[in-house]
């Protein structure tokens, strides 16, 4: 059975040093009610920092939507809204 959300966390250099390191622990920090609805995978690099549109790392992708300046709070907020 596929989950409602697929979260892809970028573990590239820029994302990692700008806060992505904390996102690696997302699975442990998600509220219990969301935990069963998400699948978490890593990406070697989402290439989002190379687009040159001033979007700020760290990046995650939730399903197909790219989220910039991602934090645990922002991800949880997004999941609750959708």
3-class SS of residue 40: strand
* Closest to another protein by CB, 37 or 81: 37
Binding mask 29-68 for another protein (x = CB under 8 A): -----------xxxxxx-x-xx-x----x-----------
* Binder of another protein out of 5, 6, 11, 74 (CB under 8 A): 11
Which residues, 6+ apart, have CB-to-CB distance to 50 below 8 Å? none
Closest approach, Cβ 73 to another protein, in A, equals 19
Strands 5-10, 38-43: pairing is parallel
């Amino acid at each position: 059975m596929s989950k409602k959300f697929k979260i892809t966390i970028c573990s590239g250099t820029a994302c990692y040093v700008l806060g992505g390191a904390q996102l690696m622990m997302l699975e442990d920090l998600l509220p219990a009610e969301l935990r069963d609805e998400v699948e978490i995978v890593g990406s070697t690099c989402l290439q989002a920092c190379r687009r040159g549109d001033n979007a700020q790392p760290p990046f995650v992708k939730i399903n197909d939507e790219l989220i910039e300046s991602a934090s645990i709070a922002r991800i949880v907020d997004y999941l609750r809204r959708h």
